[in-house]
Structures are given as structure tokens and as C-alpha cells.
Amino acid sequence: PWKVAAAVVVPPYAAKFSIFAAISQQETVPYTNRAHRVLLTSSEECEFGDENFNYWKTKNGKDILGPSDPRTVLVRRIASDIIHGVRRLFPNNSVHDDDVKQGKMVVRPQTGHLNDLNWEVIVVDDDQVKAFSSMGGKIVIHTGYLKHLKTDAEIATVIGHEAAHVVARNSMELLRSIPFYELMPFSRRAELEADHIGLMIMAAAGFDPRVAPEFRKKIEEIIGDTKLMDYIGTHPSFETRSRMLSQKEVMEEALELYKQERMRREKCQSVSSLWWNVLGYRSC
């Protein structure tokens, strides 16, 4: 896709895109195994992401809810489970920056960038039905969204989707340097990819994945949506997103992860596990 994009980019952006293409490196998205090109190494992304997010917090500080606000406490509790779900789904056994720099053949999905992420989740007092993620594991959700989220699983659907963008390194993709990227098919593909990965993350975190398709339908009714979004929107239509998540093979895989996590938690709550905890050992 990046070669196709290079062919359609018009001056004066062509030279800029060519430079970015030359310095970019190819990676494979975890779980979906899609090949894409990214602009920064994971360590550079984290450093740049921390700087950008600190600037964003300074600029929007008056609207950021404090850590003791009940809404922040709720969101961060669920986000903690989601992050644990990421770690369970993507264990530390993958390709790192050093492998790429040494010219080694990269054949496995890269998840090394997940090891050193400084995850940070913030709630903003704003009526917009909006949530977003940025470089280095930063996630923001607006109170306008929370007003419509009635269960932990619905909140987990939103946070899981944003965490999936971090997993897939969508913000680092070379294609994002194309003018009007957000209105092009590449952007909508990235959103569907984040929906897919996010579904697996929330299941691995112990949240019922069957909530996700119904949640998409719910939001469609709240904010309004049309099939036209599949062609000109920054995101696909909610109808399409719900249908993709409801596919039999996709949902069966997510339900298996959910089942495994529920069984793990039941084991952790057993009498034997409680005794281990009393003795000072963590069984889970």
C-alpha cells in the first residue's frame, strides 16, 4: 500500500513522502500480521510520545479530571485490566529494535515496543463522544463518552480499541504522512484493525467480547451514522464495525480467550491460591 500511496501523492508532498519512505522500516502488526512501514523505532516513539503528551496535558490541564475523581478511578481500573490483557495476549518473545537495526530478517509480529511503554490513561471533562490514543501508550477518554457507557465491558470496548492502536503502532505508520490521510481507505482500515485487536484484548482481559458489536450499534443510534462513512469518513460506519466484530470465526476466537481468562481467575480465587497469597506468594 505504501507504494500505491507514493504514486498518488501530489507535489509538494511527494518529496516529503519519499524522504519518510526512505527512513521508514517495515514491521508486522501483532495479531493481524499486516505488513506496514513505520517512521520511528519504539524507543524513539516512546520518547516523542511522552514529550507530546506532556505538552498536551499542559495545554488542556484545566479540563483533566484528577486521579481521585470517581470517573478517573473507574476508567483507570478498567484500563489496568486492559493493559494486563495486552501483556497476556502479546508476551515478551518478539522482535526488538536491535534486531531491525542489525538487519535481521523480521518474520514475526513486532511486540517489543510494548515492553517499555509508559501507559497513561486520562479522563477529560468534555461533552464530546470521543476517545483517542497517541504515541507511547497514552489514552484519553472524554466524559461525554462516559455518559453513554453503562457497564465496565462497554468502557473496556473503548479502551481496548485505543490500546489496540498502540499495539499496532498505527500512529507511526508511514501512510499517515499522506495529505488527507484520515479521509482515505487506509485510515478506515486501521480502525477496523483496531476493532479486531481490541476485541481480543478485552476478551483476554476478562470482559465479555459479545458486548462490543452491540455497543457499536448503540453508539450508532446515539451520534448518528450512515453507510457513507465507509467511503468518505475518518472511521467506517458503526454498522460495518459491528458486522465485522460479529463474524463467527472472530467472535469464537475472542470467546475462547474470554473463557481462558475467566478460568484463570476462578483458579486464582481457589482456596489453594488464597493460601499461597497468605504465605506471601502471588499465584496470579
Which pLDDT tens digit goes with each residue over 212-270? 999 998 888 887 777 778 787 788 888 999 999 999 999 999 999 999 999 988 887 77
Contact between 114 and 86 under an 8 Å Cβ cutoff? The reply is: yes
- Residue 273 located in a structural domain: yes
| DSSP-assigned states of every residue in 1-26 | -HHHHHHHPPTTHHHHHHHHHHH-EE
Work out how many domains the chain is built from and give that number: 1
- Is the pLDDT at 101 greater than 60, yes or no? no
Would you state the pLDDT for residue 113? Answer: 80
Question: Is 284 within a domain?
Answer: no
pTM for the complete prediction?
0.84
User: CATH no. for residue 230?
Assistant: 3.40.390
Q: Which of 51, 55, 54 is nearest to 40 (CA)?
A: 51
Tell me which residue range forms the domain holding 210: 2-278
> Which residue is listed with cell 542489525?
102
236 within some domain: yes
On whether residue 19 sits in a domain, the answer given is yes
Is the sign of the CA dihedral 170, 171, 173, 175 positive or negative? positive
Residue 232 lies in a domain: yes
Per-residue pLDDT of 170-191, as tens digits, reads 988 888 877 777 778 888 999 9
Compute the chain's Rg from CA coordinates. 20
In a domain, 75, yes or no: yes
Lowest mean pLDDT among 21-30, 52-61, 254-263: 21-30
Q: Which of 34-38, 77-81, 96-100, 274-278 is the least confident region?
A: 96-100
Beta strand residue intervals within the chain, DSSP E:
25-28, 35-38, 120-124, 131-134, 138-142
- 109: preceding bond cis by omega (within 30 degrees): no
Domain assignment present for residue 283? The answer is no
Dihedral of the CA atoms 15, 27, 238, 256 (nearest 10)? 180
- Is residue 40 a part of any domain in this protein? yes
pLDDT value of residue 146: 95
